[in-house]
Amino acid sequence: MPPQAFAADLNGLVSSLKGGGYVIVFRHGATDDSQKDVYPFKFDDMSAQRQLSDKGRAIARDLGTALAKLGVPIGEVYTSRLNRAVETGKLIGGKDVSPVDALTDSGAGSSSAMANPDGKNAKAGRAVRDLVNAPPKAGVNNLAVTHKTNVADAFGKEFADIREGEALVYKTSASGPAVLIARVQPSEWIAQAGS
């Protein structure tokens, strides 16, 4: 698709987002690959979990600036309990966040996140979908910052390729489940805000 065609689509999306009623699901920002999740569920021990890299922080900050400049109103910001998602949510949303179990990495410390479709991961996927299906307050959009495994658990293995900082934009409805409208890379939001 030519870049101009996508820009027009993103322009239309941004226009729709200004009215609220969407949930934007972000994968946390870029991380430091030299760090590993050793004890990721010791939430207060930053040395035991992978953190955002300086690049990840900068892009999340730029994403927040871009959304503000584009006039996208942000309501609630829900995040995983892992620091890389909490920090991403604060930088994008520009406000305090609400860490929730549903968004916490369902694959952390597990060798096969998708191996148990009827167990913990299926339950985690339903919890993420429930959060995305809940319409935000009038006039705003909610953000949810989570992990690749949670996105795949919730929306299917075709989303297992979600990149760090990528967003899935869902239109909510009072009469049914939210509908995926777009996949947007961080650079696309930032470029749109600069145009």
| C-alpha separations of 138 from 1, 25, 63 in Å | 34, 18, 23
Domain span holding position 25: 3-194
Mean pLDDT over all residues of the chain? 84
50's tokens:
């992978």
Rounded to whole angstroms, the Cα distance separating 136 from 36 reads: 34
Region of poorest pLDDT, from 64-68, 108-112, 161-165: 108-112
Q: Taking Cα atoms as reference points, which of 137, 173, 181 lies closest to residue 25? A: 181
Q: Taking Cα atoms as reference points, which of 140, 99, 147 lies closest to residue 121? A: 147
Looking at residue 89, which CATH number applies to its domain? 3.40.50.1240
Partners of residue 183 on adjacent β-strands: 168
The string of pLDDT tens digits covering residues 80-107 is: 988 889 999 999 999 999 999 889 876 6
Question: Which of the four pLDDT bands, split at 50, 70 and 90, describes residue 1?
Answer: very low
Q: Does residue 115 have a pLDDT over 60?
A: no
Q: What percent of the chain has pLDDT over 90?
A: 62
Backbone angles phi, psi at 89, to 5 degrees: -60, -45
User: What pLDDT is stored for residue 118 in this prediction?
Assistant: 46
Total number of domains constituting the chain: 1
User: What pLDDT is stored for residue 116 in this prediction?
Assistant: 42
- Measured from the Cβ of residue 74, the count of other Cβ atoms closer than 10 Å reads 20
